[in-house]
C-alpha cells in the first residue's frame, strides 16, 4: 500500500503525525483529481471539465460531432441548453434535453443540463467550470464568437475552446434544419439526414 507521512489539521484525519493511506487521501482531496502513475511517481492532475452550451433547437449532427470530439479531450463535458433571445424556440426545453441525451447515449463522461435564467458565466461560476466548448464552421462563426469569448474571460475567467467543424457537416445549422422542416416540399428523409445518429425523432413532427 502506498503511504505518506503527513501532519495535517484536517478534522477528518488524525491531528498527530502518522501514516496516511492512499484511500484516506482520496477521501479528502478537493477539487476532484486524477492520480496518474508516471515513472514510479504518483502525480496529481485536476479533473478537466468543460461546458458545451447552445440553444440546440434542434440538435444536429454538427452538435453531436463537436460533443463526441470534446468528450475525447475532457474528463467531463456538460452539454447545456441555454436561452437565446435571437431564436424563436421550436422545441420545448424537455424535448431538447431528451434529444441531447439520445445524441450522447454512448458517451459516459457527458451529462445534460439546462440553464435559461441567467448568463452562461453565472452557470460556470455555480458549477465550477472554467472552459467553454464552441464549434466553429467558418470565419463568420469565429467573428461572432470571439467578442463573447473575450467577454466571458473578462467577466469570470472562463476560457473558450474552439473545435473546427467536420467539413462534411459544416453546412448544417439548427436554423437550416428548422427552415427545411417547415417546407412541405422538402422530403422528411432529407431533413433526417441532418439529425444525430441514434434516433432523436422526426423533425417533421
Instruction: Specify the pLDDT at position 203.
Output: 34
Kindly state which CATH superfamily the domain 49-192 is placed in.
HUPs (3.40.50.620)
pTM flag (> 0.75): no
Residue 63 annotated among the catalytic residues of the structure: yes
Q: Is 133 annotated in some ligand binding site?
A: no
Residue 56 has pLDDT above 60, yes or no: yes
In angstroms, the Cα distances linking 121 to 54, 55, 66, 107, 132 are 13, 15, 21, 25, 10
- From 99, 115, 174, 181, the catalytic residue: 174
- How confident is the model over 118-137, as a mean pLDDT? 94
| Sequence-distant contacts of 138-143: CB under 8 A, at least 24 apart | 138/165, 138/170
Q: Is 9 annotated in some ligand binding site?
A: no
Q: Is 39 annotated in some ligand binding site?
A: no
Q: CA–CA separation, 175 vs 178, rounded Å?
A: 5
All CATH 3.40.50.620 domain ranges in the chain, comma separated: 49-192
- Tens of pLDDT, residue by residue over 4-36, are 444 444 444 444 445 545 454 444 444 555 555
- From 87, 126, 150, 182, the catalytic residue: 87
Helix (H/G/I), strand (E/B), else coil: 205: coil
Residue with C-alpha cell 457537416?
169
Residue 116 has pLDDT above 70, yes or no: yes
Amino acid at each position: 500500500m502506498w503511504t505518506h507521512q503527513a501532519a495535517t489539521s484536517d478534522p477528518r484525519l488524525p491531528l498527530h503525525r502518522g501514516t496516511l493511506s492512499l484511500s484516506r487521501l482520496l477521501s479528502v482531496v478537493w477539487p476532484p483529481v486524477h492520480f496518474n502513475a508516471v515513472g514510479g511517481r504518483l502525480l496529481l492532475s485536476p479533473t478537466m471539465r468543460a461546458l458545451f452550451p447552445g440553444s440546440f433547437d434542434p440538435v444536429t449532427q454538427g452538435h453531436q460531432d463537436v460533443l463526441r470530439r470534446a468528450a475525447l479531450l475532457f474528463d467531463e463535458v456538460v452539454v447545456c441548453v441555454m436561452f437565446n433571445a435571437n431564436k424563436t424556440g421550436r422545441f420545448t426545453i424537455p424535448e431538447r434535453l431528451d434529444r441531447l441525451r439520445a445524441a450522447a447515449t454512448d458517451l459516459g463522461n457527458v451529462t445534460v443540463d439546462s440553464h435559461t435564467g441567467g448568463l452562461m458565466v453565472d452557470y460556470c461560476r455555480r458549477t465550477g467550470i472554467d472552459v467553454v466548448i464552441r464549434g466553429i464552421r467558418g470565419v463568420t462563426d469565429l467573428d461572432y464568437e470571439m467578442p463573447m469569448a473575450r467577454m466571458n474571460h473578462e467577466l469570470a475567467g472562463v476560457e473558450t475552446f474552439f473545435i473546427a467543424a467536420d467539413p462534411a457537416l459544416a453546412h448544417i445549422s439548427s436554423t437550416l434544419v428548422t427552415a427545411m422542416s417547415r417546407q412541405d416540399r422538402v422530403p422528411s428523409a432529407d431533413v433526417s439526414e441532418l439529425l444525430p445518429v441514434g434516433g432523436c425523432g422526426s423533425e417533421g413532427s
